[in-house]
Chain A
Amino acid sequence: MSRLPQQPAEWIDRTRLVRFRFEGRDYTGFAGDAVSSALWAAGVRVLGRSFKYHRPRGILSMANHDVNVLLQDGQRLNVRGDVELLRDGMDLTAVNTWGGLQADRVRFLDRLSAFLPVGFYYKAFYSKRWFPTWERMFRAITGLGRLDLSTPHIRTPKRYDFCDVAVIGAGPSGLSAALAASAAGARVVLVDENAQAGGSGLYQLGGDAGQRDATRAFLDQVAADPNIRLYTGTLAAAWYADQWIPLIDGKRMTKLRAGATVMASGAFEQPAVFRNNDLPGVMLGSAMQRLIHRYAVQPARRAVVLAANDDAYRVALDLLDAGVQVMAVVDLREPLSAGPLVEAVRSRGVECLAGSGIYEAHADSAGTLAAVTVCRVRDGTADSSTARRIDCDGVAMSTGWAPAANLLYQAGTKMRFDERLQQFVPDALPEGVFACGRVNGLFGFDAKLRDGERAGAAAAAHVLGTAPRSVEVQTETSRPTHPWPVVAHPSAKNFVDFDEDLQVKDFENAVQEGYDNIELLKRFTTVGMGPSQGKHSNMTALRLLARLTGKSPQQVGTTTARPFFHPVPMSHLGGRGFHPQRRSPLHGRHAALGAVFMPAGAWERPEYYAVPGKSRIECIHDEVRRVRTKVAMIDVGTLGKIEIRGPQAADFLNRVYTARIDLLKVGGTRYGITCDDSGVLTDEGVIARLSEEVYYFTTTTSGAANVYRELSRLNAEWRLQCGIVNLTGAYASVNLAGPDCRKVLGPLCDIDLSAESFPYLAVRVGHVAGIPARMMRVGFVGEWGYEIHVPAEYGPTLWDALMQAGAPYGIGPFGVEAQRLLRLEKGHLIVSQDTDGLTHPFEVGMDWAVKLDKPFFVGQRSLKILKQMPLKRKLAGFKMPAGYSGQVPQECHLVIVNGEIAGRITSIYWSPNLGHHIGLAFLPPDMTTPGTVFQVRVTDGSMVNAEVCETPFFDPEDLRQKEPS
């Protein structure tokens, strides 16, 4: 066991023992432990296998970047051991192994690495012949974790939150920023992905207890500040336009809208590159400090510190305090400036080697770190004559940092490569976005506090519209990052990207093959495309490319840092679908009558009414027969219903519809169509003139919302003296149709229904069953009929009254399918079924509805042009022979002429009244003469003959609208 005595700021609760299993063995840890810290404390060194070569891996960062320690936790996949909190009873296994972590059967891949060059996938899959073989092999070997298909579907509700200033990162600079913003009067949300706040202030100490005490004092202040809400264990996953930040915690996603954002996200420590830099035991210096100060775990017994900055010496001091024997500090820099930190380390008897690096690390029989070879190193080249072997079980890499600037990039920050810092820093920040601390290039504890204060005050001032308090921040004087922490080795295995097992030579080969641009290099090598998204590899890759192409890092540039910052469970992203669904006021009546509903726009409409013992088509034909021979009723309340009033109402409609609406007499209705600017048919409906200045008109069910919106826009543009009201939901309406409809309606209403008093296409206002009603005589289904519109709340009463009055005449409801069949028999088209996004009125025989001599209407100019041009296609009626028993064409089947597509079927039904199939089809204009036979290609590819015929198919003289003589 390597658990240390109590550390002042440790996260673990020593009073609560946690039992868990890992790879089939029992272990214990403490509450507050991460899985990796508990295992490391128990002496386990191999925690996972790498993705490509299945090499043993241990701890790298302890900061959510240890992507080689991905665990399966029951149904949870790819849990990261370095941050996953230990729970009692966990049963964990490492992913990406065959037959367990120790005995992984595919670990031989490490020795085959010479045959797995960079771009191997691209090269392997290039050949069509070998593709299936490779695919089978790769699918078997690759893939992380085992998916349990019985995993329950967890719905996580989303939460919404608002603040003035969002501070991302609760380290020293973030804490300081939050307090400064709050002091200026802003409401602050402070977010940190770690389980506890404080950041580097509580673990990157170098023996400086004062820094820890100061950080704790800040935490107390934040906790006591009512203007600051601190969310720990919460990831600010992205930055979207207008300060929209998804916050991810263990349970849900919160969508935070901020007034300003302060990025205090810090920096990622970067691994050095040398042979076998991936052996378990080699880790980042900051990882060792996290183990010590957060989890009270001794990272190693004998450690070598690979150094290139001041932080390395802080690591050495913390290791010494934790009882670790520091074998040497190996510093890449030369000469070594004798600062107080170096002196402090030296004074404790530690050898500090200047101008030296680790040439390679050596493994013991278990595959974990046993020793390193240290050489003099100059610009990445080792002088092997100076080689010296040092036994150790831990290497701390402290050679440099890369800014956690992902969200800054997403916000559109222009970044500049600072040569002295060897780091990209914000050059031009977007409005309302601020940066402080290490992401802003400041590394000293006091400088970070000052920088946070400056950024917090500025962010608050931005939101509150006040003048920002000026805070002076000294520029960074240290050099925290080494420009070339890479040591060449002829036998390679010097890893740059631990996610994808990429070595230095892979980059050299990729550039050799011509992938010498950062974006191309990324795609070919897959650097930064693993689960850590390049957080510890992109910067080194960039440096390699810069050196190989003779450019500066600024010239090479960075790849795009896309959301999300870390992987997020799908359950957090998936939500409930909120689709508005409208129901007619008569919905309950339909359901009681056995209606089978179908979606129509936002509405649910009865497709037909099911009758026990009858098939769907039998039910539809019964409904059709009832309309033609008796009386029946359909709910048409889903049609758009719009009223327009005002002195210029007639002008307005005249400019919208293609017909002369101004000539429509009070008490009359007219069928009308609308077009767009290009002359394409957009909607249809019936317009009724109720008085000089009041029109009431219907639109198609699916077009209602758009028509109303577009009319509102046109009214806003033209500003005529009229107002538009959408009554779609305010009125219920039914179409009562059939030879007996007057017998049903007559006794119920106070309007004279005689043909003389209430002719075809007239509108009357009166009462039906005592309910105020607007009635229109319509003929859509080809029978004597009335559309009755009543206030929505009276809909069911009207329905019941009509059903009761109609019972002696055999009344019944009919659905949308029956209506479609009935209207087809009359040859009426349905906009958007029999027309498409390019159909103009002349193509569908609507010339009569278009009055080109009007002063103006929408689409008029285009229709004038189209009128002069020959038609390319025309909608025509067709029929199949009576008794036809072959394959029946369906809607959208193509009309083929000489092997080419010449048209298509738009509607087709078997007509029970005519005894054969009828339909509408787009055909070449020269093929629309009745009697012309054309060929349709049906589903199985065979050709079927159909014959053009006149429309209407049924009652062409409209005798059914006339009083029988």
Chain B
Amino acid sequence: MKLMPCPLNGLRPVSEFVYWGELRPAPDAATCSDAEWADFVFNRNGAPGVKREWWCHTPSNTWFIAERDTEKDRVLRTWLPGGEP
């Protein structure tokens, strides 16, 4: 089982975590076209590479950002929102 470093609780088994999705900036809802908005809502980038994702350590309800290389299956670093190192 993989280990995930929680910024608050340290290395924990990945079964204690949930994955939410990639950290993606939403387009400006006031100015974007319907097509741009639909692209944001429905399309995800599945190509492997270095990604920033939302993860939650569920026992402590800690949300954080994980930078993960999905090609090499490695967690590069994690941090609390607003506290990017």
> A219-246 toward B: CB 8 Å interface, digit per residue (1/0)?
0000000000000000000001110100
Chain A: CB-nearest residue to B80 = A716
Interface residues of B in 9-49 (CB under 8 A from A): 18, 20, 26, 29, 34, 37-38, 40-42
- Is A678 a contact partner of B42 (Cβ separation < 8 A)? yes
Q: In whole angstroms, what is the CA distance A865 to B1 when docked?
A: 43
- Tell yes or no: A406 within 8 A of B by CB: no
Known: A713-B54, A713-B63. A242 touches B3 (CB 8 A): yes
- Is A716 a contact partner of B42 (Cβ separation < 8 A)? no
- Is A678 a contact partner of B1 (Cβ separation < 8 A)? no
Q: In whole angstroms, what is the CA distance A712 to B29 when docked?
A: 23
- Tell yes or no: A862 within 8 A of B by CB: yes
Residues in B with CB closer than 8 Å to A242 are: 1-3
- Is A240 a contact partner of B41 (Cβ separation < 8 A)? no
Q: In whole angstroms, what is the CA distance A521 to B64 when docked?
A: 47
- Tell yes or no: B81 within 8 A of A by CB: yes
Q: In whole angstroms, what is the CA distance A716 to B37 when docked?
A: 23
- Is B81 a contact partner of A861 (Cβ separation < 8 A)? no
Return the contact of B29 from the options A241, A716, A719, A856 (Cβ within 8 A).
A856
Known: A677-B41, A678-B42, A719-B82. A713 touches B56 (CB 8 A): yes
Q: In whole angstroms, what is the CA distance A717 to B56 when docked?
A: 13
Residues in A with CB closer than 8 Å to B37 are: 861-862, 865
Q: In whole angstroms, what is the CA distance A694 to B1 when docked?
A: 42
- Tell yes or no: A176 within 8 A of B by CB: no
Known: A678-B42, A861-B29. A709 touches B1 (CB 8 A): no
- Is B56 a contact partner of A244 (Cβ separation < 8 A)? no
Interface size of A in residues (CB-CB distance below 8 Å)? 20
Residues in A with CB closer than 8 Å to B34 are: 865
- Is A241 a contact partner of B41 (Cβ separation < 8 A)? no
Q: In whole angstroms, what is the CA distance A242 to B72 when docked?
A: 13
Q: In whole angstroms, what is the CA distance A712 to B81 when docked?
A: 12
Known: A709-B56, A709-B61. A241 touches B42 (CB 8 A): no
- Is B63 a contact partner of A712 (Cβ separation < 8 A)? yes
- Tell yes or no: B70 within 8 A of A by CB: no
Interface residues of B in 47-82 (CB under 8 A from A): 54, 56, 58, 61, 63, 73, 80-82
Residues in B with CB closer than 8 Å to A726 are: 61
Return the contact of B18 from the options A678, A708, A709, A861 (Cβ within 8 A).
A709
- Tell yes or no: A860 within 8 A of B by CB: yes
- Is B1 a contact partner of A244 (Cβ separation < 8 A)? yes
Residues in A with CB closer than 8 Å to B63 are: 712-713, 716
Known: A716-B81, A865-B34. A860 touches B1 (CB 8 A): no
Residues in B with CB closer than 8 Å to A677 are: 26, 40-41
- Is A241 a contact partner of B81 (Cβ separation < 8 A)? no
Q: In whole angstroms, what is the CA distance A728 to B80 when docked?
A: 26
Chain A: CB-nearest residue to B35 = A865
Q: In whole angstroms, what is the CA distance A677 to B73 when docked?
A: 28
The minimal Cβ–Cβ distance linking B13 to chain A, given in whole angstroms, is 9
Q: In whole angstroms, what is the CA distance A179 to B12 when docked?
A: 29
Interface residues of A in 122-171 (CB under 8 A from B): none
Residues in B with CB closer than 8 Å to A716 are: 63, 80-81
Q: In whole angstroms, what is the CA distance A547 to B80 when docked?
A: 57
Chain B: CB-nearest residue to A679 = B41
Chain B: CB-nearest residue to A710 = B20
- Is A860 a contact partner of B3 (Cβ separation < 8 A)? no
Q: In whole angstroms, what is the CA distance A569 to B42 when docked?
A: 45
> A661-688 toward B: CB 8 Å interface, digit per residue (1/0)?
0000000000000000110000000000
- Is A241 a contact partner of B1 (Cβ separation < 8 A)? yes
- Is B29 a contact partner of A713 (Cβ separation < 8 A)? no
Residues in B with CB closer than 8 Å to A678 are: 41-42
> A850-861 toward B: CB 8 Å interface, digit per residue (1/0)?
000000100011
Q: Which of A244, A712, A719, A861 has the most CB of B within 10 A?
A: A861
The minimal Cβ–Cβ distance linking A381 to chain B, given in whole angstroms, is 48
Residues in B with CB closer than 8 Å to A719 are: 81-82
Return the contact of A862 from the options B41, B54, B82 (Cβ within 8 A).
B41
Return the contact of B2 from the options A241, A708, A860 (Cβ within 8 A).
A241
The minimal Cβ–Cβ distance linking A718 to chain B, given in whole angstroms, is 9
The minimal Cβ–Cβ distance linking B70 to chain A, given in whole angstroms, is 13
Other than the given A244-B1, A716-B80, A717-B81, 20 more pairs (CB < 8 A) read A240-B1, A241-B1, A241-B73, A242-B1, A242-B3, A677-B40, A708-B61, A712-B56, A712-B61, A713-B20, A713-B54, A713-B56, A716-B81, A719-B81, A719-B82, A726-B61, A860-B29, A861-B37, A862-B37, A865-B38
A-B contact pairs, 29 of them (CB 8 A): A240-B1, A241-B1, A242-B2, A242-B3, A244-B1, A244-B2, A677-B26, A677-B40, A677-B41, A678-B41, A678-B42, A708-B61, A709-B18, A709-B58, A709-B61, A712-B56, A713-B20, A713-B54, A713-B63, A716-B63, A716-B80, A719-B81, A719-B82, A856-B29, A861-B37, A862-B37, A862-B41, A865-B34, A865-B38
